[in-house]
Copies of this chain bind each other. A is one copy, B any other.
C-alpha cells in the first residue's frame, strides 16, 4: 500500500477541490492508498500540518471553489534546509510520493524537490492560462465565464448612457482572459500585455463605435501598457501619497478616453470575483481528469512529470518543460480579434 501526499499552492483557482477529490477517490478506492492532505501549500510539508483524507472528506467539494487544503505562497527553498525539512516530514508520515497542484512557482519547487530526490507529480493550475506545456488549465474557463457575464451586463449600461466602459480583467503578463472574455463579450477593443497599445488607436475605435450608434466596451488586461511606457499605476500599488489603488491601467485609460473624446467614460475592475466560486463544467471535467491522471502517474512510478492537456488527451510532460516559459497570446490570435475592434 502506498501513502501519497497532496497539496495546493499559490493563488486559489476554481477546480482545485475537483483535483483533490479525484486524487482521493481514485487513490483510496481503486488503489487502496492512504492520501494525506497538507495544509496551506508548501507550508504543510514543511511543518507536517494536514490530515488524512477519506472519500467522505471530499464528498460535495467538486462544486466548491477555493481549496479545502488552504493555500500559501511559502517557498521551501527560500530558507536553508527547506528541502530536508520536507523529506523528514514525508518520512515521518511514511509518504511515498507527493502530488503538487499549483502554478509556475509551486511547480518550480516541485521540480527542484524532485531533482533533490522527492517523488513528485505536478498538476498545473493557473487562472491566467499562461503555462506553456498544456493547452489549458482549469480555472481559466471559469475566469473567462465570470468576466464575460460581467461584460454582458455592462453592455446595456453603456448603451443606455452613451458611455464608454473600460473593464479591467486579470492578466499581468499574459492577456488570455482579456482575449477570450473580450471575444465572448463582444468588446470593441481588447488590450493585452503582449502588445503595447496606442491610445490614439483606442480612441479611434471608441469614436468609430459611437459613430455607429453603439457604446464601446474596452477590455483591458491589468498588465497592458500604452506605447512609450507611460507610468501607469497598477491595481494594489500605493501611490506616492499612500493611496492604495484598485484598478490600474483600466482607470488610467477611462480617464484618457473621457478627456480625448468628451464622452463619459467609466472603469470597472473585476478583481477577485474572477477567481472564486463554483467552477464551470469545463473546469470541473478538466480538473477531475488531471487528478485521475496524476494518480496514474504515481501508480506508474513516473515522477518529475506534470499532467497536461493536449487536444482532448491528458498527457505527461517533464516538470522542467512545464515551467520553462510563459505562454503568451501569439500575434495571430490577437489579430483574429482585431476584426471586431471599433
**Which A residues fall within an 8 A CB radius of B?**
8, 11-12, 14, 16, 22, 25-26, 29-30, 40, 55-56, 59-60, 62-67, 70-72, 135-136, 141, 144-150, 152-157, 159-162, 165, 180-181, 183-186, 212, 214, 233, 239-241, 243-247, 251, 254-255, 266-273, 275-278, 280-282, 284-285, 288-289, 292, 310-312, 336, 339-340
Out of B135, B149, B157, B273, name the residue touching A66 (CB < 8 Å).
Answer: B157
Residue in B40, B65, B288 whose beta carbon sits within 8 Å of that of A153 in the complex: B65
Which 10 residue pairs spanning A and B have beta carbons closest together? A66-B156, A153-B277, A65-B156, A153-B276, A66-B160, A12-B160, A184-B281, A148-B281, A157-B276, A184-B284
Inter-chain contact B255/A251, CB cutoff 8 Å: no
Give A36 Cβ to nearest chain B Cβ, in Å.
19
How near does chain B come to A185, taking the closest CB pair, in angstroms? 8
Residues of B within 8 A of A180 (CB): 281, 285
A155 contacts which chain B residues (CB < 8 A)?
66, 276
> Are A25 and B340 also in contact (CB < 8 A) when A180-B285, A277-B153, A282-B282 are?
yes
Sample 26 A-B pairs with CB under 8 A, ordered by A number. A8-B160, A12-B156, A14-B156, A16-B160, A25-B340, A29-B339, A62-B186, A63-B152, A66-B160, A71-B160, A135-B311, A144-B285, A145-B280, A145-B281, A145-B282, A148-B281, A154-B272, A154-B277, A181-B281, A183-B285, A184-B281, A244-B254, A244-B255, A246-B251, A269-B271, A311-B311
A144 pairs with B281, CB closer than 8 A = yes
Q: Is the CB of A70 within 8 A of B160?
A: yes
- Chain B minimum-CB-distance residue to A338: B30
Complex CA gap A71/B272 in Å reads: 31
Q: Which residue of B lies closest to A252 (CB)?
A: B244
Question: Closest approach, in angstroms, between the C-beta of A232 and any C-beta of chain B?
Answer: 12
Q: A289 to B179, alpha carbons, bound, how many Å? A: 12
Which B residues lie within 8 Å of A339 (CB)?
Answer: 22, 25-26, 29-30, 292
Q: Contact at A152–B30, with CB atoms within 8 Å?
A: no
Pick the contact of A281: B12, B141, B241, B251 (CB < 8 A). Answer: B141
Q: CB distance A246 to B273 under 8 Å?
A: no
What's the nearest-Cβ distance from chain B to residue A89, in Å? 21
Residues of B within 8 A of A161 (CB): 11-12, 70-72
A247 / chain B contacts, CB cutoff of 8 Å: 246
